[in-house]
Amino acid sequence: MLNKKINIENILWNTLLTIWAIVCFPINPLVLFGLLETAFYPVAYIAGWIFWGIGMGLVMSPIIMFPRRGGVKKGRSFVHTTKLVDTGIYAIVRHPQYLGGILSIFITTMLWYPHWLFIVLGIGGIFIIYMGCKEEDQRLVQKFGDAYKIYMKRVPGLNIITGILRLNKHRNT
């Protein structure tokens, strides 16, 4: 019953997130088609490119890390991990791909197109991703058991600053 509930919730959150991401995508249809006028601030625009680059790097992290360290059999997709990966970026945050989505979609859009609508949609999108991370944690506890529970206590889900501070503290002790 739990798996069915998780699957239905997963479909709901993923559908909602997909729609939200399309509306908030940095190459924004509302702006491109002239449906929404936004201001332009060069410093925010440049910061948006920085967040987009960092975010896209984080989005790519499982594609790079899982085949190398996740026990993925040759020829299989990176999603078929058999080992818990807790090194590299995964020693800092548990969900770098989701964090990358937040940075490259929602934060970048708010910076490129400063408008109240994108702030409201961005906050909503971040909440949806956060809820997706909670569900992903449940699924990964089922897959990896107590090892993942210990990992969850050690590494934050999305807070990269806390993750860096914890990692540095752990290395210095």
Distance linking the first and last C-alpha atoms of the chain? 44
Q: Give residue 74's pLDDT.
A: 87
**Per-residue pLDDT tens digits for 86-122:** 999 999 999 999 999 999 989 999 999 999 999 998 9
Closest CA to 105 of 23, 17, 25: 25
**Per-residue pLDDT tens digits for 64-79:** 899 999 999 988 888 8
Q: pTM score, two decimals?
A: 0.83
Compute the mean pLDDT over every residue in the chain, rounded to the nearest whole number: 88
**Per-residue pLDDT tens digits for 117-158:** 999 989 988 998 998 899 999 999 999 999 999 999 999 999
- Separation between Cα atoms, residue 60 and residue 130, nearest integer Å: 19
Contact 127, 45 (CB under 8 A): no
Contact 143, 84 (CB under 8 A): no
**Per-residue pLDDT tens digits for 1-49:** 445 555 666 677 667 767 766 666 777 888 888 899 999 999 999 999 9
Cα-Cα-Cα-Cα dihedral sign, residues 7, 129, 36, 57: negative
Closest CA to 30 of 112, 123, 100: 112
CA–chain centroid gap for 134, Å, is 12
Domain ranges in the chain are 42-163
